[in-house]
Structure 1
Amino acid sequence: MSNQTLDEQAQKASAEQVLIEKRRERLKNDSMRIIEIASNEANSALKCIHQLSVAGGATEATYIAIEQRIVADQDPAGAYHLALLAQSTSDLPIDARQLIELVVNKGDNQQRLALLKNLPLPPVDIIKEQILASDDGDAIGQMNAYLQINPEGYGSHHMLASGQSDQIVPLSPGNSSN
């Protein structure tokens, strides 16, 4: 290899390192801004989750701040979205069970049905119990139809892997902020 080639490789590596450092700094700044919102604005979890998505990631403290905001507000919509994130990213510092329980216990039937369809392994019996207790004929019908084609309740991920087609279900009609 010539000295020119080695110099070009060193410059390229240096430029890549600069880009990595800039991205790291941007994520750190975005994380601090999101933590500030989650810490000071009630009912801001969905806003924070959206900004987290736009930023392309964040620090562990950011996820913890959003989870704390969700719990403080008892926000089933925020809990649903953060639980889906936690299910698809194994190393997040989030208690997904707590978020799922919040959706099941405080959410509406559309949120429960969305959990049933979108979590890899949803708590089928608990969701079924809550939907049946609501006496909501439409939701019961949707649940029964879904469980008829997927009695184990493995969620969309399993169905996609097995060749069936499904899609992420929005939380409520007209709310496609997944």
Structure 2
Amino acid sequence: MTNELKNSQATQIQEAEQAAIEKRRGHLKSESLRIIDIAASEPYSALKCIHQLSVAGGATEATYVAIEQRIVADQDAAGAYHLALLAQNTPDLPIDARQLIELVVNKGDNAQRLALLKNLPLPPVETIKAYILASDDGDAIGQMNAYLQINPEGYGSQHMLASGQADRIVPLSPNK
């Protein structure tokens, strides 16, 4: 009898765990559909969608694609920056991080370019350098030179943290 009771309890626990998993899947699917709808219908909603994705704790592949499409349609450098960082940390996302990085470099401001330089594992250093130097923004040039002086290869902050140097994730355009 005790074995039957133990087996029955084990089965109930497994069923409860499976029900919790199914409930979580249902919630993520529902949230994904809601986020996809926002991305499809609201211009410049990429940051809102990325925030909602974070709050939901994940999403379907279609959600990431919808957010990327919104970013490209709007040429949204801020959204591109955040989704590119997400893609760098989650390599199996179905998005083109290179396209997003190029959008930030080409359409973003110097604060966004500096943030890419500091936060991507392997940023396009020479391209970022060229854009910042061409801007004649003395403050941004100074920040870039100071950063590249301690990190001439331009390895992002993850490399610096791994090598024992202290750095922090840089906020993107604090006045926006």
Q: So what's the TM-score if we normalise by structure 2?
A: 0.97
Runs of 4+ in 1 over 4 A off after TM superposition: none
Question: Please, which runs of 5 or more residues in structure 1 have no aligned partner?
Answer: none
Task: Find the aligned partners of 1:156 and 1:50 in 2 and give their Cα distance.
Answer: 23
Q: So what's the TM-score if we normalise by structure 1?
A: 0.96
Task: Find the aligned partners of 2:18 and 2:175 in 1 and give their Cα distance.
Answer: 43
Matches within 5 A, 1:104-123: 104-123=105-124
Please state how far the C-alpha of 1:137 moved relative to its aligned partner. 0.2
User: How high is the sequence identity, in percent, across the aligned residues?
Assistant: 78
Matches within 5 A, 1:32-47: 32-47=33-48
1:9 equivalenced with 2:10 (yes/no): yes
SS in 2 for 1:2: helix
Question: Please, which runs of 5 or more residues in structure 2 have no aligned partner?
Answer: none
1:159 equivalenced with 2:160 (yes/no): yes
- What residue is the counterpart of 2:52 in the other structure? 51
Aligned length: 175
Task: Find the aligned partners of 2:139 and 2:20 in 1 and give their Cα distance.
Answer: 52
Deviations 1:108-163 (A, max 9, x none): 00000000000000000000000000000000000000000000111010011111
Please state how far the C-alpha of 1:174 moved relative to its aligned partner. 5.2
Q: Which amino acid aligns with 1:92?
A: L
Deviations 1:8-57 (A, max 9, x none): 11111100000000000000000000000000100000000000000000
SS in 1 for 2:95: coil
SS in 1 for 2:65: helix
- What residue is the counterpart of 2:24 in the other structure? 23
